[in-house]
Every structure is written in structure tokens, then in C-alpha cells.
Amino acid sequence: MIASLAWALGGCATVAPPPQAAIPVPLADAWTLQGRLGVQTERESLSGQIRWQHGGGVDQVLLTSPLGQGVARIVRDPEGVSLELPGQPVRRATDVDTLTRDALGYELPVAGLAWWIQARPDPLREAAVALGDDGRPARIVQDGWTIDYLQYGADARPRKLVVSRAGLEIRLVADSWQSAP
């Protein structure tokens, strides 16, 4: 339909072929991401920095204020999840969704984000993926979350993305990526 419209508007002009699908960055088993994070709920708006280490079945997420003070530390491993908040006892649960919902009042989708940050849906769950003109994922919808990819870096990894679900929006800007060997 778009090609017909372009032909009609352009007279006899030819329509360029669609771009080839972008070659995705290979999945890294272990990586570290540093960046900025913004969380918008119906009640509050927070911003800060994130340092996320992923590998060996373990995720360690450190959230800091814009001035670098530790705000929260989430550790997910095969035994469960722990959350450390300043001045509070360590909280534990079997999954991160339950833990963050109980402690923060909203879920942080750490398990899904480990895939989404690499521009892929979790392969064990149903998902809808919409590709952009460059062949890269422009949107993933999975587990009730919508992940919009706003910008990719020169290394083909997502640089800016928005993760949203009813009443919650998480904006993530990846300033640096390091893959572990």
C-alpha cells in the first residue's frame, strides 16, 4: 500500500527496496551496562544512574541518585532475589516482581529487561516484535510490558529505550556496555 501511494504521488518514480534486516549483536552471556534511568509512576518521578552486571545466572543492579548516592541494590540469583535500601533491613523474595512490588509499590521487570536491553524478547515467553525500517526491533510487547527502542548505538545495541505498563514508565539510556569474555 505504501509503495502504491509513493508511486501515485511520485508519478513514474521508482520506490527504493526495503533496507536489509540489521544484523543483531550476538547475545552476550555476561555484560555490564552503565547508564541513566528515569521512573515515572502515577505518584512519583525518580531519576538516577544504573550499573547492571549480568552473567552466570546472576544479576546485580545498583541504582544511585543523580549525585551518585546508593538508592537501591537488587541481586537476583538462582536462590531468589534480595533488595537493599539505605537504612532498611535486606528484603528477600523468590522473584523480583514480587519483591519490588512489595518494597517499592511497583514492579521492576529485571528478568525481562535482561533480554529486552539486548533488543530481544525472552525466548521462553510469548511476545510480539515490530521491526523498524532498519530491520531492528522498534517495539517488543511481552508479559504486559511494551518496550520501545528509541535509539541504537554505533555498536548496534539499544542506547535509549522506554519500558511501560499501566501507570509505570521506565526510561533507560545506556551510556556504556561492556561484554565479559
pTM reported for the whole predicted model: 0.80
- Nine cell digits for residue 46: 525518580
Pairing, β 137-142 against β 127-131: antiparallel
- Other Cβ atoms less than 10 A from the Cβ of 180: the count is 12
HSE-CB at 130 with a 13 A cutoff on CA atoms is 9
Pairing, β 168-179 against β 91-93: unpaired
Which class for 165: exposed (0-12), middle (13-18), buried (19 or more C-beta within 10 A)?
Answer: middle
Distance CA 132, CA 118 (A): 16
Instruction: Look at residue 111 in the predicted model and tell me its pLDDT.
Output: 80
pLDDT block averages, 10 residues each, the chain of length 181:
32 35 61 94 90 91 87 90 91 87 80 89 93 94 96 91 94 91 61
Instruction: Look at residue 9 in the predicted model and tell me its pLDDT.
Output: 29
Distance CA 148, CA 133 (A): 14
Pairing, β 145-152 against β 137-142: antiparallel
What CA–CA distances, in Å, run from 119 to 28, 61, 170, 171?
A: 12, 19, 16, 15
- Other Cβ atoms less than 10 A from the Cβ of 163: the count is 21
Instruction: Look at residue 175 in the predicted model and tell me its pLDDT.
Output: 95
Distance CA 75, CA 173 (A): 21
| Contacts of 173 by beta carbon, 8 Å cutoff, 6+ apart | 35, 36, 37, 159, 160
